[in-house]
Structure formats: C-alpha cells, structure tokens
Amino acid sequence: MNRRFVVPTDGSDRARHAFSYVVEMFPNPDVTALHVVDPVEAGYGGQTDDPGHASDWRDTEGTNADGTFEVIRDLAAEAEVTLSTRVVEGQPAEAIVAFAEEGEFDGIVMGSQGRSGVSRVLLGSVAESVVGNSSIPVTVVR
C-alpha cells in the first residue's frame, strides 16, 4: 500500500523541496499538495467589506492556487507520482492539521522558512505550529 502525504505549498522553493523529499524518501507515494488561503490576510491586505468581494476573492485565490500547483504537478509527472491538489480556506497551521487528520494521511511534509531568533518569535512559524498540534507525523524540510 502506498503511503499518503500532505505537502502544504505556497509556490515557494521550500514547498518544492518538501515535495522532492517525499519522492526521494518514499517509494510510490500518494501526495496531496495543499494550498491554504487565509481570508484574514485578505482583510489585512486592504480588501473591502463588500459582500460580493468574498466571491471575487475566492475566485482569484482559486486561480492563484492553480499557478502555485503548476511546478509540483510538473515534478510529480517527472517522478510518476500520484498527485492530487486541494485548496482549503482558513488559518494555515490549523487548516493543514485538520485537513491531514481528517484525510487519514500518513504524514505531513512541509518546508520551513528557517527563521531563527527574534524574527521567529515575532512572526511565529506555521511549521512549528503544525508540529505542535498534529497527531500525525510531521517532517519539516529545510
């Protein structure tokens, strides 16, 4: 039976590296690339409170997510890995943990920003929060 992994992605090199790690370390994995969109960030980004805006925002985020997945889709095709993609809405760390636990995945593999010191304390860490709150194994790749 193939092992199933969630690889959160934001289109960054760190996310691509996490995907490559899964491919290298586990034979024939089933991978779900997960992109989380945070409606709170949209509000902080100067968006309006117009009720019609929420629908527009979701459409835009869905289109942006397709671009985010493109590189991982190409890597999966090269490696002949089963890949599915999902977009969920919510606070990133909470959404990643909930999605992985509800989907009965074998693990979460994610990239790390690699912050340390004051910037880590001030900015927090999605990876650290996922590690601290997940009931399934989490591998953080730098």
* CATH code, domain carrying 41: 3.40.50.620
Determine the pLDDT at residue 42. 58
State the residue range of the domain holding 137.
7-141
Determine the pLDDT at residue 119. 54
| Structure confidence by residue, pLDDT tens digits, 30-73 | 999 999 988 876 555 544 455 555 566 666 666 677 888 999 99
HSE, side-chain direction, 13 A CA sphere, residue 77: 6
Determine the pLDDT at residue 53. 56
Read off the tokens for 12.
């960054």
Determine the pLDDT at residue 120. 54
Residue 84's DSSP bridge partners are 32
- Examine residue 46 and state whether it is found in any structural domain, yes or no: yes
Counting the structural domains of the chain, the total is 1
Determine the pLDDT at residue 90. 93
- Examine residue 96 and state whether it is found in any structural domain, yes or no: yes
| Structure confidence by residue, pLDDT tens digits, 76-125 | 999 999 999 999 999 999 999 999 999 999 999 999 876 665 555 544 58
- Examine residue 60 and state whether it is found in any structural domain, yes or no: yes
- Examine residue 55 and state whether it is found in any structural domain, yes or no: yes
**Average pLDDT in the 5-9 region?**
96
- Examine residue 2 and state whether it is found in any structural domain, yes or no: no
Residue with tokens 């949209």: 42
Pairing label, strands 107-111, 4-8: parallel
Rounded CA separation 75/23 (Å): 9
Helix (H, G, I), strand (E, B) or coil at 5: strand
CB burial of 28-54 (b: ≥16 within 10 Å; e: otherwise) equals ebbbbbbbbbeeeebeeeeeeeeeeee
- Examine residue 1 and state whether it is found in any structural domain, yes or no: no
Determine the pLDDT at residue 122. 46
Determine the pLDDT at residue 77. 96
